[in-house]
Amino acid sequence: MSVLSKNYTLNNGVEIPKLGLGTWFIDDADAADAVRAAVATGYRHIDTAQAYGNERGVGEGVRTCGVPREQLFVVSKVAAEHKTNESAAKSIDETLEKMGLDYLVMMIIHSPQPLFTTKKGHFTTFQIDIARTYPI
């Protein structure tokens, strides 16, 4: 069995492929071809981020790779500067629109940083609810 077909099972029962295609440093113009080639090789986990500037191309590759969408574990990342519920939610919607996808399996915070720190170097946290779930 190839490592490309092995998964980890998350605590919620969702399976995530052990190996994924990272798209950092892949230009948007080349991203669709890279994704299609990776999927043809057996990759089912595709990773991008708002900061990479290639979500449009990655989304095109996902949509045109010939593998049903529900068989692909597509991840993107919210840019760290989005510190409010409204800003993060808007950026997620923009990612989905750029990628031309109805859903992502996972959206994570890219290089999370606190909103601000105190004089002693501690940071203050606050609760926000930006999670939206989609069937996979």
CB 115 within 8 A of CB 88: no
Q: Annotated catalytic sites, by residue? A: 52
Within 8 A by CB and 6+ apart from 83, the residues are 115
